[in-house]
Amino acid sequence: MSEKSILRKTEEARKCLKAAVYDELVKKAKLGQDVIIERNGEPYKIPASEALRIQEEGSEYKA
């Protein structure tokens, strides 16, 4: 497998994972549930709606 092919497959996998996380955040936000993220090396609970907003803004989960 060429390096170009590996990079293309890696990018496809990243997009697929990002879409799956987005879909799950939408479901949890509609249900009013929380999600666990990492902040400063520690688990942190936030509303799924906030995590969805952060993801849509393109920001990372930073404290």
| Token representation of residue 38 | 């990492």
- Interhelix angle 3-31/48-57, rounded to 10 degrees, is 140
In terms of residue numbers, what domain contains 29?
A: 3-57
More confident residue, 19 or 61: 19
Residue 2, helix vs strand vs coil: coil
Look at residue 63 and tell me if it is in a domain: no
Look at residue 62 and tell me if it is in a domain: no
CA dist., res. 48 & res. 5, Å (int): 35
Tens digit of pLDDT for each residue in 33-52?
Answer: 999 998 889 999 999 999 99
Look at residue 29 and tell me if it is in a domain: yes
Look at residue 12 and tell me if it is in a domain: yes
Mean pLDDT across the chain: 90
Number of domains forming the structure of the chain = 1
pLDDT recorded at residue 60: 60
More confident residue, 32 or 62: 32
When pLDDT is cut at 50, 70 and 90, the band that residue 10 belongs to is very high
